[in-house]
Amino acid sequence: MTAGPAPIAVALDAPDLETAARWASLVTPHVSTVKVGLELYLRYGPDVVASVRGASRVQVFLDLKLHDIPATVAGAARAVARLKPAYLTVHAAGGPAMIEAAVRAAPGTRIAAVTVLTSLGDADLAGIGLAGPASDAVRRLAALAVGAGAQALVCSPQEAALVRAEVGPDVTLITPGVRPAGADLQDQARVATPEQALAAGADLLVIGRPITGAADPGAAAAGIASALRRTAGGAPAEEAAGRSPEASRSAPAGAPAEG
Ligand SMILES: O=C(O)c1cc(=O)[nH]c(=O)n1[C@@H]1O[C@H](COP(=O)(O)O)[C@@H](O)[C@H]1O
């Protein structure tokens, strides 16, 4: 990783536009991307994209997790393509025809297929009829999505290495479920630290509440960005990764590691 904004997409899961725009302006000096999700988009619509972009050159990741029949997803992808998001999410479980329809409808945007939500553990998956470890379903859906033309995949950092081995170097691997050592896991189940995610081959780390919930989101983003730079600078991955967040499931919401 070279100097410049870190490969982090800050999830702007804010209840109002002013808060989202403030978080975006605080973090954009330090990160490459900001993510607009369902909460903001459903409340404010397309205008939210310009608001969080501001005057910066930050990439916008539009996380709408589309999942419907191919014609409907094509129409939805076409509708948002004019906003020129760098990424648009669809659920890989929508199947290859749906993914292909999204790819065709938004040629200037990378379609990112969500494999298995990072909030789901193996027991949750068994309950919804996907028996076996999450990694099996992730690997299967990753291959299916890339075969249908998806240029990016969303998986947990725990599966990043196996997905990379499955799909090769050209697909952008995006990993939510990122928690600095000691931070509260909240509703995330399959997690790793930022340093572990990077070492596993992730290209873009989605991080929300550990940054936006900090007293100073700009400083939190800067701290994680500089920790990643140290990892990429050659510190042994395990040393850089520190304690696994699994070891601190009940820890209070922590400030990220200081840079
Ligand atoms: O598509 C996503 O971005 C996504 C996929 C997934 O499997 N898990 C997941 O948490 N996300 C998103 O990543 C963000 C994670 O936020 P934090 O848990 O606050 O770091 C949220 O905006 C989620 O909607």
Strands (E), 12-53: 31-36
Please state the residue numbers annotated as binding site for substrate: 13, 35, 63-72, 118, 179, 188, 208-209
Contact 206 CB / ligand 1 (< 6 Å): yes
Q: How far apart are CA 103 and CA 105, in angstroms?
A: 6
Contact 11 CB / ligand 1 (< 6 Å): yes
List, in order, residues 6 or more apart from 212 with CB less than 8 Å away.
10, 11, 12, 13, 14, 23
Cα(142) to centroid(ligand 1), Å: 17
Using DSSP, state whether 75 is helix, strand or coil: helix
Per-residue pLDDT of the chain (259 residues; tens, 9 = 90+): 656 899 999 999 999 999 999 999 999 999 999 999 999 999 999 999 999 998 888 999 999 999 999 999 999 999 999 999 999 999 999 999 999 999 999 999 999 999 999 999 999 999 999 888 999 999 999 999 999 999 999 999 999 999 999 999 999 999 999 999 999 999 999 999 999 999 999 999 999 999 999 999 999 999 999 999 988 775 444 444 444 444 333 332 333 333 2
Q: How far apart are CA 11 and CA 143, in angstroms?
A: 26
Best residue among 34, 40, 206 to mutate for probing ligand 1, ranked by most atoms within 8 Å of CB: 206
pLDDT recorded at residue 117 = 98
Q: What is the pLDDT of residues 142-156, one digit of tens each?
A: 999 999 999 999 999
Contact 158 CB / ligand 1 (< 6 Å): no
Catalytic center residues:
65
Can you tell me which residue has the tokens 């075969």? 147
Q: What is the pLDDT of residues 195-222, one digit of tens each?
A: 999 999 999 999 999 999 999 999 999 9
Per-residue tokens: 111: 């379609």
Contact 188 CB / ligand 1 (< 6 Å): yes
Burial of 225 (0-12, 13-18, 19+ CB in 10 A): buried
Using DSSP, state whether 125 is helix, strand or coil: helix
Looking from the CA of residue 61, the nearest atom of ligand 1 is: 3
pTM here is: 0.91
Number of residues written out for the chain: 259
Q: How far apart are CA 1 and CA 233, in angstroms?
A: 7
ipTM of the complex: 0.99
List, in order, residues 6 or more apart from 43 with CB less than 8 Å away.
16, 17
Cα(206) to centroid(ligand 1), Å: 7
Contact 184 CB / ligand 1 (< 6 Å): no
DSSP for residue 69: -
